[in-house]
Structure formats: structure tokens, C-alpha cells
Structure 1
Amino acid sequence: MRQHVGRIVRGATGALAVAALSACALIGTGGPSLRPSPRSLPPQTQPPTAEPSAASRAVAAHFAKVEADLLARGLLRTDGGGADTPWGPRQIADNFVRIALYDEYVSERGRLIAREVPSRLRRWEKPIRIGLRFGESVPEQTRAKDRATVATYAARLARHSGLSISVTDHAPNYWIYVVSEDERPTKGAEWAALFPGLDPRELESATGMGLSTFCMVLAISDGDSPIYSGALAVIRSELPDVLRLSCFHEEMAQGLGLANDYPRARPSIFNDDEEFATLTGMDETLLRVLYDRRLKPGMREAEVRPLLGPIIAQAIGGGS
């Protein structure tokens, strides 16, 4: 959910179109093929060898205060909503269109301009293999907890999307890096090798995250395709427990194609107000709609709207 950034989607012209996000950035890239380099890596089992620096400790203190403030205001809810957050088919239809089929920013002459623009349906059409990597400063106890979080949540996303989603070291195509303030800027060459042809500006958005960004995901397509071929999620290792969990939940879900934020979506993590930290029942329904086979990658609102009634009726009844 992580704050105040844009998610960037490059269109056929090579220009950057950006959709605002609660706190992450999502990039779909066009132009040259950016298919992730397939490779299997040995499991990352080495113990941490680096102590957090003073800068990293300061970042950790900052986000501890941010989390405490949000919790004190009744935000970062993990209850999925309740009687105070009713929703039904009409809300699902409106929220789906705004979250899956619109971008909130465009790029003009290298600058991001806040202007909502129609987009098209984007999603994965092949199995997702998550590769989880940690910076050397991340303690083994924290790594174990994060591995369990990712594995459990990946199974939940798979259940509601119908995708095959696994956590593996065999040829990952969806990379998640948990790295510190000091480690992240050193990862540029490694990430460029994973995604040859990645625009340096997009790479810089990952290595140079400011404090207003909790975490981010770059969802990558080949050329102008609406079908994702890879993704890179970056999570700050300094985040405290609830913000950390919220980052895993939002980035992993947005990287599946629910890429936008919509202020009227409630209860939802696809909303920049930080009310909810974890995926809600309504979000699960949105995911089932996105991966319904009656919808096709590349469809726009005029094509999608007439199909939503029966799809949503089935999706609402398909929860578990």
C-alpha cells in the first residue's frame, strides 16, 4: 500500500504513462523486449554478514513512527472490513474498471502529470515463479518470517486468480528483493541483468526510492503486449511488521494486474488512504474478475463493461 508514488506503464510510443498509487510504483514496459533472463539460482542460505548502518537505522526509526501514527489513527486495518464497509456488484464493477482499466498519471516531456486516462486490461498468462532475495543486513529470523509470509500469500493469490504461483529458485520471473537503504542503490546492475533493456529511468525508480515510497513493484511486458512477462518488487528491509506485511500484500497483488488506486475503493488495499493493510474480501473478488477467462488482455472499458454482470455474480459467489 505504500505511499505517494506513481506506478508507471509505458505504452506503444515509448512514452511513460503513470497511474498513481498508494505507495508503490508499478511499471509495465514497452519498447524492446524485456523478458526476464531465465536462470536458476542456488537457495540464498548464507547468514547475514552486515550490520545495519546508521542511515538504515534512521530509516527504520522513521518508518516505526509512520506505522505508529497510522495505527493510532485506526488505519492499516487487517480485518478485511466489516459492517462499516458494505459492498456489492455495483461497487465491484466501478472499482474494477478504475483499478484495472485506468491510469492516473501521464508523462509529458519527461514530467508526470496527474490526469486520469483510460488504459487496458493487463495480467499474467503463464505460471508465476517468485524468487525471494534478501540483503545481507536482514537477519535470518526476519528472512524466515518473510519467506512464510510470501509463501502463504502466494497460495492465496493463486487460489483467487487461478494462476500457478510458486516460490522457487528455479528460473524466477517475479523477483522480490528485501533490501536496506544501503543495499538497494547497489542493486542496479543485478536488476538490469535480470531485465535486459530496462530503461535507466525505471531502474533508478527502484534503486533511488525516497522516503515517501514504502515499496514498489515494476510489472514488465514484452514490447506493447498487455501480458506481463516479469516483475520486480522492492521492499524496504527497515519496515516494521504491519507496514512490511502491507507492502507484501499490495505489491504482490498489484503486480498481477490490479495496478491502479481508486479513492472510492473500500474496503480495499487499492486505495491510497492506508485504511487497509492487507488484502480484503472485495480485493479477492476483483482478482477473480481480472482472471476470468471471459476477459482478455488488452480489452478496454467499452469491451469489459458489458461482460461484468455475470462475471461479478460468479466471482462474488466464488470466495473461499
Structure 2
Amino acid sequence: MGLSALLALANCDETLTSSVVPQPRPAASAPEPNAYVPPSAASQDLARFYQRVERDLVTRGLLRTDGGGPDTPYDASDLERNFETIAFYSEYPDHAVTATAYTTEGQLSRWSGPVRVQAEFAPTVPPEMRAQDTAQVEAFTARLARLTDHPISVVSRKANFHVFFAGKDDSAYVVSRMKQLIPGIDQPVLDLIANPRANIDCFVIASPTNLSPHRFVRAVVLIRAELPDLMRRSCIHEEMAQGLGLSNDSPAARPSIFNDDDEFALLTSHDEKLLTMLYDPRLEPGVTVENARPVVRIIARELMGQPL
């Protein structure tokens, strides 16, 4: 009723001043689709829970940020073994978290074309957190590009590697975006996105094409906005690296973030070498673990400075 009255009044004013050239009115700017919305009480409770978890882990000497040291030695044989486990197999062999029906166990999967990274934020992520997380994603993207010598860069449009930060209240927004970004995404994945299990802080979905099941063309990382700073940075490091092709975890990998024991929060010297190995041109996407072993052995020894 009020809107109709305002429109009628505007039309009347134009009629009364028809001898005067009407001045253009500035168009009202549409609100951004992910404009900030304060989180709910439940989301704030979850944030406090994760703060307690982070404090507990750090108190126990976990979530290390030193990248490894004298207490975590490793040699070329360790690197070779861990690379085989982490790069040739999936953390989700039952495909509970996947966007493809192809089975690629025992074969190398990675990107062949340029990786274009963009951070995206759901409505409940505060502006100051958006700025901080964007800076972290940009810095880590540059690091990944150096380690892999692969074209990996941050973009503002036409991304194919999205890093999402979203809170407990943002399920509908994120599910809608996932449907746009990954056509044909499996329903179990959407269910997981809408209602993440309590033990899942973050995860990545990397998908290839039907014709090239070992060459990734799209990836989406999802990170809980309720996580405190160190746990959020840890998610950035692990999930972005996994989205490049280091898809598995191994309890034997140390020092490494590809280990579910939470000892290390950030990419280690060991993990840097895994990424370099993954994108070595002597290894091709789709190569089997058996055929790759002789080459992996050579690369591991080169990186460690050990004789063949």
C-alpha cells in the first residue's frame, strides 16, 4: 500500500513538471548476494566450542607451525612411501565426498590446465574475517605456485578453484552455489554440505571431466567460518593442497599435515616436497602407482640430495 502510494506520487510529480526536463535519478544499488548477516546464537556457540578445541590442541603441543625439525627426521624412502599413499589413493575410497563416479584408486590425479583461485564468503562471515582469509588464500596460492611450478593464481572472476568460508547458518546459500559451480553434484555431497558432520571442519571436492577422470578441472574447498584463526589457516593449507591432487592422509606421514593426528597445522617441508613431486613433468596424470614407482624413487632422492 505504501509503495503504491509512493509510485503514484512520483508519477503525479512528473506530470506537473512536464515542461521541465526530468533529471535522471540515481539507481538504487542492489544489495550484494553475500552481504554480511550477523551469525545466530547457535553459530556463536559453535565458534566458542572450536576456540576451546584449538586451545586444547595447542596446549598438548599439537597444531605445530614450525614445519618440522630435528625431532621429525625423514629421508627419501619416507618421502617415496608417503607420496605413494597420499597421491595415488583417496581419503574417501567409498566416494562419500566426491563429485565423480569414476574410481581412480592407484592412479595419479592432478590439474593439467591453469588453476584460478578465488575466495568466497557466505553471508555470516564478518568483513574483517573476509579480509584476513583473503590475504591467507592469496599468500598460500603464491606458495603453491612456487612449489609446483604450475600456473596457479588468484583471480576475481572465472575461477575454477573456489575457497568457501561459510558458517552454520549459511547452508542454503552454499548448497545453491555448489549447484551452480558443480553441475550434477551428487546428492550425498549436497547433504554433507548442508549438514556437515560434527568432526568435519573443512573439506574439498575436486572433480575431473568425464573424458579425463585423472585431470582436475574444478575444485571447491569449504571451511567453517566458526573456526578460530589457526584452525582456519590449517584448513586453507590442507584442503587447497589436497585439491591439487594430494588426496589422501597417512598415519605414517611425518612431519605432515596429511595425517589425522593434528600434530602439524601448516604445510611442512615434507609436504612441500610432496607437492613438487606431484607436479613433476616426469609423472603424468593417470599413471599407475606401479609404473610410477621407479620415477618417484628418482625424484624423492633428488629432492633429498640422496644418491640413487
Q: Could you tell me the TM-score, scaled by structure 1's length?
A: 0.79
Matches within 5 A, 1:255-270: 255-270=243-258
How many residue pairs match? The answer is 268
Q: 1:132·1:147 contact (CA, 8 Å) conserved in 2?
A: yes
Q: In structure 1, how many angstroms separate the alpha carbons of the residues matched to 2:247 and 2:93?
A: 14
Q: In structure 1, how many angstroms separate the alpha carbons of the residues matched to 2:33 and 2:209?
A: 34
Give the CA deviation at 1:55: 1.1
Deviations 1:35-71 (A, max 9, x none): xxxxxxxxx9899531110111011011111111111
Pairing 1:279–2:270 present: no
Residue 154 (structure 2) aligns with? 167
Give the CA deviation at 1:104: 5.4
SS of equivalent residue, structure 2 residue 261: coil
Q: Quick one: percent identity of the two aligned structures?
A: 42
Q: In structure 1, how many angstroms separate the alpha carbons of the residues matched to 2:153 and 2:194?
A: 26
Residue 17 (structure 2) aligns with? none
Residue 192 (structure 1) aligns with? 179
Pairing 1:121–2:108 present: yes
Residue 301 (structure 1) aligns with? 289
What amino acid does structure 2 have at the position aligned with 1:75?
Answer: L
Q: In structure 2, how many angstroms separate the alpha carbons of the residues matched to 1:274 and 1:107?
A: 23
Q: In structure 2, how many angstroms separate the alpha carbons of the residues matched to 1:81 and 1:300?
A: 30
More helix by share: 2
Instruction: Give 1 or 2 for the bigger CA radius of gyration.
Output: 2
Aligned in 2, Cα 1:136/1:189: closer, same or farther, shift over 3 Å? closer
More strand by share: 1
Aligned in 2, Cα 1:206/1:164: closer, same or farther, shift over 3 Å? same
Aligned in 2, Cα 1:97/1:225: closer, same or farther, shift over 3 Å? same
Where does structure 1 lack aligned partners over 5 or more consecutive residues? 1-43, 111-116
Q: 1:130·1:165 contact (CA, 8 Å) conserved in 2?
A: yes
Of stretches 202-211 and 259-268 in structure 1, the one that deviates more from structure 2 is: 202-211
Matches within 5 A, 1:4-23: none
Residue 298 (structure 2) aligns with? 310
SS of equivalent residue, structure 1 residue 219: strand
Aligned in 2, Cα 1:278/1:186: closer, same or farther, shift over 3 Å? same
Pairing 1:249–2:237 present: yes
Q: 1:206·1:216 contact (CA, 8 Å) conserved in 2?
A: no
Pairing 1:57–2:44 present: yes
Relative contact order, CA 8 A, sep 6+: which one is greater?
Answer: 1
Matches within 5 A, 1:96-175: 96-103=83-90, 106-107=93-94, 118-175=105-162
Aligned in 2, Cα 1:45/1:282: closer, same or farther, shift over 3 Å? farther
Aligned in 2, Cα 1:294/1:185: closer, same or farther, shift over 3 Å? same
